[in-house]
Amino acid sequence: MKQIIEGKAYVLGSDIDTDQIIPAEHLVYSLSDPEEKKNYGKFALSGVPADGAGLPDGNNAFINEGSFESEFTIIVGGKNFGCGSSREHAPACLKIAGIQAVVAESYARIFYRNSVDGGFFIPFETPDKLAEETRTGDKLIIDVEKESLINETTGKSYSLSSLGEVIEIIRAGNIFEYARQSGLIPSSEA
């Protein structure tokens, strides 16, 4: 796990649901086939309306034409990020697209758990309305240990809510690695 995450922000609004993150029509690819798996990155956030609804900055492409990975590494969202169905493909596709962290005011509970349990990316919460204060393309730096975010573009600093005990799962890489390291399940080496 990286202690410092930095990169460009991609800003979304509130109530971004799993159908916007990865539309059901794109759930046909195998996550175990490396070539097919790339398509989840290609279609990440393709369900966000083309008119820019849900995007405070209007319609900025998350994935450029012909690419499987985004130039953005941090998503900034509003409230209830990841609402909708419980599909694990939603956080998986964001990781495949290159997302290392999502910072939102709040999350749908199952999306948050899927993000942590699968080791897809770090889901930070913030009491601040970052989606209103950040623009797509702003350069952000997240210090995981200090639980802080700096917007280098604006010069503003923000506190992130504590990850609490889930930081140990994140450090381990996913829930199964955490369980192995904690002795809750047998090690694969045994």
CA distances from 142 to 7, 61, 109, 112 (A): 9, 23, 22, 18
pLDDT tens per residue, range 21-41: 999 999 999 999 999 999 999
Strands (E), 24-138: 72-76, 101-104, 122-125
Please, which residues bridge with residue 107 across strands? 81
H-assigned helices in 58-165: 89-96, 109-117, 130-133
Q: Which of 54-63, 102-111, 164-173 has the lowest mean pLDDT?
A: 54-63
* Whether the Cβ atoms of residue 154 and residue 99 lie closer than 8 Å to each other: no
pLDDT in tens, 38-94: 999 999 999 987 655 555 555 678 999 999 999 999 999 999 999 998 889 999 999
Residue 61 has a pLDDT of 86
Q: Is the dihedral of CA 123, 127, 132, 134 positive or negative?
A: negative
Q: Is 58 left (phi over 0), alpha (psi -120 to 50) or beta?
A: left
- Delineate the domains of the chain, giving CATH numbers in brackets: 4-181 (3.20.19.10)
